[in-house]
Amino acid sequence: MGPTDDVPLEHVILDAGSLMATTTTTFLGGMAAQGCQLWTTPDVLNEVRDPVARAALDALPFKIGTRPVDSAALDAVAQFAKETGDYYVLSATDLRVLALTYMIERERHGGAHIRRHPKQLRSSAVVDGRRRAFVPPATQPGTPAAVEQPPADGERRPLHEEQLVEGLNVALTLAETSTGDQAAARVDDDDDGGGEWITVENIASQKHGGRQAGQQQRRSTSSVSCVTTDFAMQNVMLQMGLRLTSVDGKAIRSAAQWCLRCYACYKITMDMSRVFCGSCGGPTLSRSRVKVTSGGWIKYRHSARQAANLRGTIYSIPKPRGGRHNNDLVLRDDELRRPRRDNKAPSVDELLENASEFGLNASGGARRDRVRVGHPRGRQVNAAVKRSAKR
C-alpha cells in the first residue's frame, strides 16, 4: 500500500440503490473475494419487490449479511441530519443505513474522529473556473478592530523603554539570521551540482509534488465504507467524517448536488420545483451545481458568461382574456393560481370502475387543466391555434 492509498475495506454497507445497480456486482464480488464483509439492513432487502430485481439479488455469488440498528446510533445520525438540513428528505430506511455505517465505524475504530455536529459551512463561489475575490469580514458592531489604525501624517506616538529594548533585540536577531542566510546562499551558489534544479527528468515529480502531498493528507484510515447513490446520504456521511465509496468502487471525496440560482438577484434555492425566484419573483432561475466537500466547503459552480435565453420574447404578449377558461400567461410569482377543479365530484361507482387492481388509478390523478407558467419559448404567442373540430 502506497503513501497515498486508502486502507483496504473490511466492511461495506449497502443501500437499495447500490444493490440494484448493475455496475456494483463486479466491485462487490471483488470485495467479497478479498474477505470483505457486506452488510445491509432488513428494510433495504424488503424494498426490493420487483420480481426481476429480487431474482437478480438472490442469484448474487456472494452473501450479504443483515444487522439491526441500535437506537443510540439512529438518534445520532438523525440529529446530525437535522443540523445539515437533509433529515426531511431522508427516509426511515436511509437513516437506518446511515446508523448502521455509524455503528460499525464506532465498533471498529471508535467514535472520537466522528463529528457530532457539522462544520460551519463556508461558501466558496467559483465563477467560470475562477474563484471570487476575497472579501474581508465586516467588524461586528461594538467590538474593536483587530488591526490598529495607522497614525495620521505628522503624528508620532510615544514609545516606552520596554518597547525600544524589544525592538532592538528583534532587529539584532533579524540581522544575524540575514547574515547566516547570505553565507548559506553563497555556499549554495558555489555548488554546481544542481540537485534541486527543474530538469526534463524531474519535471513530472515537481509538478505533481503538491498534489500528492494534498492526497496524502486526505488519505482515509477507516476500513468501513458505505456504498450509496443518494445525494442526501452522501452529504451527511461526508460531513460526519465517514468513508464513502461509489458504485464502481472509487472513493468519493465530495458530493455534488444541483440548485437554482437567480441571475437577477443572485439568490440561491435548493427547491428544484420552483419556476420563479422566491426573492424577486421573476422567471430568472438557472440550474447550477453545488459541491459539498468533506471539509465543510460549499462550492457553487456557474458560468458568468452564460447569457439568458431570450428565444421567443421578441413577440408581444397577447392581451389578457377574462373568464374562467382563459389561458393568460403567468409571468411572475404572485400571479400563480391553483388549477381549476371540476364542479362535480366523481361518484363512488366511477371511482371503483376506473380503479386499478393494484390500487393506483393512472388516469384519475391526471390534471386536465394545467396552468401555463412562463413565456412560451420558441413560438409566437399571437399565432393562430389550429383547431381540429369544426366551429
Binding-site sequence positions for Zn(2+) = 262, 265, 277, 280
Q: What is the rounded distance in angstroms from the CA atom of residue 119 to the CA atom of residue 8?
A: 27
Distances (CA, A) of 349 to 342, 352, 354, 355: 17, 5, 9, 10
φ, ψ of residue 139 in degrees (nearest 5): -75, 135
Specify the residue for cell string 452522501.
Answer: 234
Residue ranges at the known binding site = 262, 265, 277, 280
Specify the residue for cell string 472579501.
Answer: 135
Give the single-character DSSP code of 87: G
CA neighbor of 288 nearest in space, from 271, 308, 268 = 268
Q: What is the rounded distance in angstroms from the CA atom of residue 300 to the CA atom of residue 240?
A: 21
Contact 96, 43 (CB under 8 A): yes
Give the single-character DSSP code of 113: S
Residue 255's contacts (CB-CB under 8 Å, 6 or more residues apart) are 231, 234, 235, 238, 244, 291, 292
